[in-house]
Amino acid sequence: MNPSQKTGLEKVKGLQGQAAFYFPKGDYMENQANSSEHQFSEADRAAVYQAIFSRRDVRGQFQARAIPDEVLGRIIMAAHHAPSVGFMQPWNFLVVRSQQVKQRVHDVFRKASSEAAQMFDGSRREIYSRLKLEGILESPVNLCITCDRERTGPVVLGRTHMKTMDVYSSVCAAQNLWLAARAEGVGVGWVSIFNERELQDALGIPHHIVPVAYLCIGYVSHFHDKPELEKAGWLARLPVDELVYFDQWAQGPGGGEALAEQLRLQQASIRERGFKA
């Protein structure tokens, strides 16, 4: 069969190499006329996408060995270079290594998790009770990313009408940190089952500072091939082409069908390669 005659999953199965999803060969080769002089090399682009698709929320496979300060420093520096509304950089990074402090935070988690379990019914409550939802005590480093909503004053460029953009900026810092950690072979788990005021008190955070992301960080025995909640039967990855609208809410592709087909092919290629991302 001529490569140009292949369709759908046949093309996906025919892709070669670890970078196949990102830069497929043959009739899927990137058109040079559409390339950018600013793009990364093929290997560097593949590494970025690999970090994205192989990132996992780590809870139960932390190792005790310490993270070298130079590695932790690079990870935090990546977080500090996240985009922020009005360049206000609203974040702080509270590094927790004390087992005593971790225990206080864990106590806050346990209380909230017990409350959360009662919010689910039937099989969901039973699954919830079996899930490992944090690695607070096991991970060598805990880190809380916060948002100081008053950092640059009451009027912030870009936050004049959408007031939550500063909090979203701190979320971007968390994502930067997560991807950098994955590239370093370091696992990260985001714990969000807390009463906010109790978490602030456990960490001595002033009440006007918002705790955005409480992260458990450390080297791990392994990264799962797909998200743990998916493996546990909680939820499955949604088809991305069904989540993309065109020009108006809930409007189909119309003339954008080529993009929808690319999304279907790319999601299929990820599954073929085993990332399950």
Please tell me the least confidently modeled range out of 71-80, 94-103, 155-164, 246-255.
246-255
Mean residue pLDDT of the chain comes to 87
Best CA proximity match to 55, nearest among 193, 214, 174: 174
Q: Say yes or no: 141 and 158 in one domain.
A: yes
- Specify if 81 maps to a domain: yes
| pLDDT computed for residue 23 by the predictor | 44
| pLDDT band with cut points at 50, 70 and 90 for residue 33 | low
Q: Say yes or no: 217 and 95 in one domain.
A: yes
- Specify if 243 maps to a domain: yes
Rg (CA), the chain: 21
| pLDDT computed for residue 221 by the predictor | 93
Q: What's the CATH code of the domain at 130?
A: 3.40.109.10
Domain that includes residue 106, residue range: 57-223
pLDDT above 60 (res 18): no
- Specify if 1 maps to a domain: no
Q: Say yes or no: 248 and 219 in one domain.
A: no
Q: Write down which residue in 200, 223, 246 finishes a domain.
A: 223
Please give the helix or strand (H or E) that residue 47 lies within, else none. helix 42-54
Q: Say yes or no: 138 and 188 in one domain.
A: yes
pLDDT above 70 (res 6): no
Mean pLDDT for 118-136 is 92
CA 255 → CA 109, 115, 252, 258, 259, distances in Å? 49, 49, 9, 8, 9
Q: Say yes or no: 43 and 153 in one domain.
A: no
Q: State pLDDT tens for residues 41-77.
A: 999 999 999 999 999 999 989 999 999 999 999 999 9
The DSSP result for 171-220, as a single string, is HHHHHHHHHHHHHTTEEEEEE--S-HHHHHHHHT--TTEEEEEEEEEEEB
Q: Say yes or no: 105 and 182 in one domain.
A: yes
- Specify if 228 maps to a domain: no
- Specify if 101 maps to a domain: yes
Q: Say yes or no: 173 and 198 in one domain.
A: yes
Q: Distance between CA 57 and CA 215 in Å, rounded?
A: 10
Q: Say yes or no: 150 and 208 in one domain.
A: yes
- Specify if 109 maps to a domain: yes
Give the number of domains in the chain.
2
> For 217, what's the count of Cα atoms within 13 Å in the CB-facing half-sphere?
31
| pLDDT computed for residue 16 by the predictor | 37
| pLDDT computed for residue 200 by the predictor | 98
- Specify if 2 maps to a domain: no
pLDDT above 80 (res 267): yes
Mean pLDDT for 215-244 is 91
pTM, entire model = 0.86
- Contact of 159 with 165, CB cutoff 8 Å: yes
Q: Say yes or no: 121 and 183 in one domain.
A: yes
- Specify if 155 maps to a domain: yes
